[in-house]
Structure 1
Amino acid sequence: MKIKNFELEVFFTKYEFNAPYLLTQPDCQSISINELLSYRDGAKEEFLNLSLGYTEVCGAPKLRQMVSSLYTTMDESNILIHSGAQEAIFNFMNIFLNKEDHIITQYPIYQSLFEVAASIGCDTSKWMLKQNNEGWYTDIEELENLIKPNTKLIVLNSPNNPTGYTFKEEELLKIIEIATKHNIYIFCDEVYKGLEVDNIKRPWLADLYQKGISLGVMSKSYGLSGLRIGWVATKDQDILDKLTKMKHYTSIC
């Protein structure tokens, strides 16, 4: 595999921990372990008694159960824990896509959401966000016009990095209608869920679509990037099985 530099991370490597002022922080202000454990009685004692041994490849059952409670149609069997979101993106693209496949990615978007697919050899099309005096918007008809006979995946990011644009529920339902019509899967990066500018609560993509995969993480809206906990949620057990086996080659547990 030959993959291009992740230019945002190259930039952060140079400046993130050296610049006197940081106006590009992609997550919330974090807190100390002591402060985190103070939010629940008995949490500190429980934390100090945690075993530092291996956990299940799919993630500790209690953690998966807690993550599944964020969703309305999921239980712990629908959740696979990863070491942050980036591992989940990399693993999913590699188990799901082949070089003859075509994908459509919302754009602009986090680089790995299209670059990993491109490194596999996939044909990639960009579904461009548009902007007017009222802000960012999408053209759903344009999305359908990008579909090819070999289109296998639509990649979304909502709330969007870097624009902040967030799909309305009716827009998501229209996208799902198109994907269903053409038998296309949807991978939705939802790591900024909970930070919507309009403060409107929206359903997770995986709760709405049988062939939907939702990506979540503790780094962004929770401000707990040091924990390195991400996950995917989906009703597709075949994808979860393949992801679990791919994880044997990455973080393992």
Structure 2
Amino acid sequence: MAPQRAMPIELAEWLETPVGQYVRAWEQRQVDAMVGNAFGYHAIQIGLPHWDLLQANRIPHKVWAHSPSAPFGTRAGRLICEPEQLPFDAQSVDLMVMPHTLEWCNDPHQVLREVERVLMPEGRVVMTGFNPYSLWGLRESLPGLALQLPIPVPSQVSPSRLKDWFKLLSFELDRGRFGCYVPLCATSAWLQRWQFMEHAGDRWWPAGGAVYAIAAVKRVSSLRLVGPAWRKSRRRRMRRGAVAPVASQVDDARR
């Protein structure tokens, strides 16, 4: 088995730093908007169970699934499992939220296959992640600089690759947003000084945000059943059989 790309505990600790709180606040707003109108009976969050990304949703049954290495927290409804093997029946989940899940799992594509298996038709999945083509990702790829992100750049799943995987698994992209355009700063003071880049980046460099949030819907093609078409054709054949006698037959009867 391939080594884990990043430990959830490291990501959870990083989210408590000033820059992590900045990312967390942006992602919370985006996910709240994407899950607010999702309906059904079962909603699952995979990863980071101490962070409630289902709070804006009204689905009655909610579960926070996580790997054994993740921080547990004290919330009820927790479930320990690996994202590559979800312990749910096929087509049993209406909403699935995955904060940075693909960045620390062993097999991201297998995780998406499991998501497709357990989601109901028209079910929704919401994912967040780091953008390797942002200022943050480019900085982390430069040699000689100290890493400030909890996840190395090669392990990040780009939005373009995620869209290709969605297409292969019959997911339809519903909406997507990039955010966090300020430089990768370590303190809250410098983050505030660079806040003007938030609006400038969203306008002039929309795909260069440090993080992204994407929502997709599982589409299932349905068969169109044709009704009693054979009965109509049979009636047409019967009507064509009632033909009036031709002129030669009338003449023979007169004789």
TM-score bracket, normalised by the shorter chain, equals: 0.3 to 0.5
TM-score normalised by length of structure 2: 0.43
> Which structure would you say has the larger RCO, counting Cα contacts within 8 Å and 6 or more residues apart?
1
The structure number with the bigger radius of gyration is 2
TM-score normalised by length of structure 1: 0.43
